[in-house]
Amino acid sequence: MTTQAPRFWRSIPQRYNLKGTHCTRCNEYFFPPRNLCPNCRRGAHLEEYTFKGTGTVVTYTTIYNATEFFERLTPYVLAIIQLDEGPRVTGQMVSSPEGVRIGMRVRPVFRILGKEGDRGIIYYGTKFAPQTEQE
């Protein structure tokens, strides 16, 4: 069995805690992290930044026919989410399709993203859930 463990391992900080970067010179945030600011270039000052994970649904689609590793999850919602700091990320919504609408507020949750079958590693990471009024 081939494993994607090294590839997954390298992205653990981003997947678990939405770690990206922030240019303190132009105040732009990057996710996934960039080691070069396209605005400031050589004058950039980049620092590691952990995104809050809260944001807004820009658009979404419902998956009914999924690839092998996701077929048990159907129907599920894949959304483009604008994080409060600015970047847009593609993520899975933890909600029925009826519970998702454009413009709704979301928060991060820790879930299984996928598995390498019954014998391989389990990929964990961030999905998004509708934010309740109290939050």
Q: Which residues bind other proteins (CB under 8 A)?
A: 12, 16-17, 50, 71-73, 94, 109-113, 121-122, 124, 127, 132
Closest approach of other proteins to the CB of residue 56, in Å: 22
We find the least distance from the C-beta atom of residue 113 to other proteins, in angstroms, to be 8
Q: Work out how close the CB of 127 gets to other proteins at its nearest, in angstroms, rounded to a whole number.
A: 7
Phi, psi (deg, nearest 5) at residue 24: -75, -15
123, two tokens:
């990929």
Reference 27, options 47, 56, 54, 42; nearest CA is: 47
Q: How far is the CB of 114 from other proteins (least distance, A)?
A: 9
Q: How far apart are the first and last CA of the chain?
A: 43
Main-chain dihedrals φ then ψ at residue 130, nearest 5 degrees: -55, 140
Q: Is 62 left (phi over 0), alpha (psi -120 to 50) or beta?
A: beta
Count how many Cα atoms sit within 13 Å of the Cα of residue 61 in the half-sphere of its side chain. Answer: 5
Q: Which is nearer to other proteins, 42 or 68 (CB)?
A: 68
